[in-house]
Structure 1
Amino acid sequence: MYLVKNSPRALLAALIPLAIVEAVLMVFAIAGGQVTDPAGTPAPDKILVLFAGRMAINAAFLFAGHVVLRQWTISSRLAYGLMGGVMAAASYAIAIRNHIQLAAPGDGTVVTIGLLPTIAGMIGGFLYGQFAGLSPVARATGVAAAADAPAVSPPIVFDGPVRVRTSIAGIAIAALMPTVLATLLPYTLVPLLMNGFADKSTAHIFAAVIPAQTFMVMMVISVIPSSIFMLCVHHVARAMSRRSAWEYAAIGGVAALACVLLLVLVLPILAALLVPAAFCGAVMGALYRRFAGLEPVPLPEAVIATDPNALVGADHPSRRQHGVILSN
């Protein structure tokens, strides 16, 4: 039996999706306040303090959930993903209850907005379980233990055939790559945007809102198609018995390039996306392989037989000729 280790590095990695979501929500809150009450826009120091407070609460809840799972000797990545979602939802509820936020959600949007940190928390919990690593459970040593018993049990090894697992969390992480890459594009326009406004405060607001808006729009329109694409790439790679990250990256890049080529036949202007799409597909394939892991090839399904005479091989003579029963 194994437990997930205590790892500050894994905790920092788990906080990355939560930090992105919190930053996006804060940007939208600032933009909304700029429209409704420009004079009441909070100072940067207050924004930083609120952001740090939210992240501290998220980190505390995530680590507390990890401690609880260790007490229950649960180490599966599915359990850590569910734990991350529950803890992120609890952190969001506490922030709403105690007004640890820039602006309260509008009427009828509390639950809808809460889905974003919940999903980010699920990804964060999965990342913690992935990066922290496992350690064997320490066995209690007592007087009743046999004197000749081995102090450490030998490690379990497997040398049979393996294949890449089908991982929902891996698909979700890989499916976010188009969103992340598309969000990086507006940052190249920030210097131009800053020079285009006479009011620099307004320019700063727009410079923050445009990437956040791009992130939300791309996430809504691309997550489901990207998930389907990644699932297809995974099954193609599995059918070809490919397991390395480089092979998954190559298959993902070729598949993305093929998809864009088909779209170019309809809209030739999309030819400009050939190289970015191939790069994005390669990154998605490599990311999926990194987080999916391996599993043993399943054994053949058991056969339910009612006639013992039918349990013969495919090359048995009875399979190629019929028995004859002479009737009177």
Structure 2
Amino acid sequence: MRVRTSGGALAAGAVVAGVLSLVTVGDGSSPKPVTRESLQAAPLPEGGLRPMQPDPRLPSFHRDGEAPREPPGPPPPPPEPQREILEAVSSPDALVFQAVRGALTYLALFLLGHLTLRRYGVGGRWAYAGLGSVAALITVASQTPLQGWRNLIVLGNLSYFLAIPIVAGLIMGFSYRWRAGLEADGDDPAVLEATLAAAQTKVEPALVDTGDAEYFSGPVQVRTSFPVAFVAALLSSGLFGLISMAFAIPAEVQGWMASGQQMPLNKMVALAIQSQLHVILLMGLMAPLPFAALVMLGQVLLRAIGKTSYRAYLVAGATAPLLLTLLLGPVGFLLGLRAAVPMAVAMCVYRSMAGLEPKAVKEDIEVRDRRNLMDADHPRRRYSRVIKA
């Protein structure tokens, strides 16, 4: 079982890795507002100027008729040195270079691991999820400066800093395995037809082994997996949040321009993006868990009635949020309408990611009396044997 080498899936992963490194990599310090005091306390840049302060060692001058001022006392002791926090201001070119470097690093690591897994015939989903996690973690760690690691340890943000690339890498590797698919090794329809013809049986077997591949025609069902449901919910909610932002930002900028706001257009766009960040926060952090719960509920119901088609999952995803009307009334109906589209996408993504599996056979039974091995409509189940007392 070998996973295909997909250029499009590799490029998509590299782009996500570039954005991840651009957002995640830093010095590990919390953002601090720039004040006049902090500017004066900061070391002077090369060629920079600092506001002139009176020197207590120089004599003080006074007008005629005024009493001379007392010379000041000894200068106060310098403040205790604080832990140095690296503050780097990146230019646009530096940010672009950082994103490109992160994308290329992830691409090289993931491609090397992918070729290694192909060589040994490993194509499991969790193997690729682990590969993506390792590649993303190394990508972010290799660009973090040494002072940044110190700051992360001092501020206690190391676990949070490492969790982001690990989780993102899991999703990236899992998504690559889903998008690339498997190689068609040994899939020869002519060999399958010849094998069935050589069997010479009236009833075609459910499992056919051609020597190079196996084929199954028995009953199947969609796999049940909560991690797959969470990934599908995360992808659909994040995509819906980005689309909502793309439509909301121009509308907000247009509203400000119509109201006569006097500010540059780039500043309006920046403020609109900042005001719409709550959409990404809501859809990317808070929506996946309830969405995943609804996906699992829909999966259980569809599996119980034996539905495996994409149409059934699309309808189930679109109608599942509307069930909120039973709990919340009109408010639930409005929320359900807003969540119908991302839930329909999440259900279809789950159906594609989860795939099919054969239905389980009935469990073994223990027999004490072989007379019980009769059909449900057998006359013996209706008649009892008469024993002469």
Aligned to 2:174: 126
Distance 1:326 1:108, change over 3 A: farther
Q: Equivalents in 1 of 2:345, 2:377: separation in Å? A: 47
Q: Considering only CA atoms, is the larger Rg found in Structure 1 or Structure 2?
A: 2
Aligned to 2:51: none
Structure 2 segments unaligned to the other structure (5+ residues): 40-86, 187-209
Q: CA deviation at 1:75?
A: 0.8
Q: Does 1:255 align with 2:320?
A: yes
Check conservation: 1:80, 1:126, Cα contact below 8 A: yes
Distance 1:116 1:210, change over 3 A: farther
Aligned to 2:160: 112
Aligned-partner SS, 2:293: helix
Q: Equivalents in 2 of 1:25, 1:295: separation in Å? A: 38
Aligned to 2:93: 45
Q: Equivalents in 2 of 1:317, 1:208: separation in Å? A: 76
Q: Equivalents in 2 of 1:58, 1:99: separation in Å? A: 23
Q: Equivalents in 2 of 1:10, 1:54: separation in Å? A: 16
Task: Output one character per residue of 1:149-197: Cα deviation in whole Å (capped at 9) or x when no partner.
Answer: xxx9554222211111223443123212234313433344434458668
Q: Mapping of 1:84-103 within 5 angstroms?
A: 84-96=132-144
Q: Equivalents in 2 of 1:40, 1:204: separation in Å? A: 25
Aligned to 2:48: none
Q: CA deviation at 1:248?
A: 0.7
Check conservation: 1:96, 1:104, Cα contact below 8 A: no
Aligned equivalent of 2:279, options 214, 220, 233: 214
More deviation, 115-124/7-16: 7-16
Q: Equivalents in 2 of 1:135, 1:166: separation in Å? A: 24
Q: Mapping of 1:1-328 within 5 angstroms?
A: 2-15=1-14, 17-18=16-17, 21-22=20-21, 24-25=23-24, 32=31, 41-96=89-144, 107-135=155-183, 153-176=211-234, 177-191=236-250, 192=252, 198=263, 206-259=271-324, 261-265=325-329, 268-269=330-331, 271-316=333-378, 319-320=381-382
Q: CA deviation at 1:301?
A: 1.3
Q: CA deviation at 1:271?
A: 4.5
- Matched residue type, 2:31: G
More relative contact order, 1 or 2 (CA 8 Å, 6+ apart): 1
Check conservation: 1:54, 1:100, Cα contact below 8 A: no
Check conservation: 1:31, 1:209, Cα contact below 8 A: no
Check conservation: 1:17, 1:121, Cα contact below 8 A: no
Aligned-partner SS, 2:2: strand
Distance 1:19 1:313, change over 3 A: farther
Q: CA deviation at 1:310?
A: 4.2
TM-score by length of 2: 0.66
More deviation, 239-248/209-218: 209-218
Task: Output one character per residue of 1:291-313: Cα deviation in whole Å (capped at 9) or x when no partner.
Answer: 22111112111223455454444
Q: Equivalents in 2 of 1:207, 1:136: separation in Å? A: 48
Aligned-partner SS, 2:144: helix
Check conservation: 1:186, 1:211, Cα contact below 8 A: yes
Distance 1:312 1:97, change over 3 A: farther
- Matched residue type, 1:95: Q
Percent of aligned positions that are identical: 26
Check conservation: 1:184, 1:211, Cα contact below 8 A: no
Q: Equivalents in 2 of 1:184, 1:24: separation in Å? A: 20
Distance 1:302 1:189, change over 3 A: same
Q: Equivalents in 2 of 1:295, 1:208: separation in Å? A: 44
Distance 1:34 1:154, change over 3 A: same
Structure 1 segments unaligned to the other structure (5+ residues): 139-151
Q: Equivalents in 1 of 2:354, 2:139: separation in Å? A: 28
Aligned length: 309
Q: CA deviation at 1:237?
A: 1.7
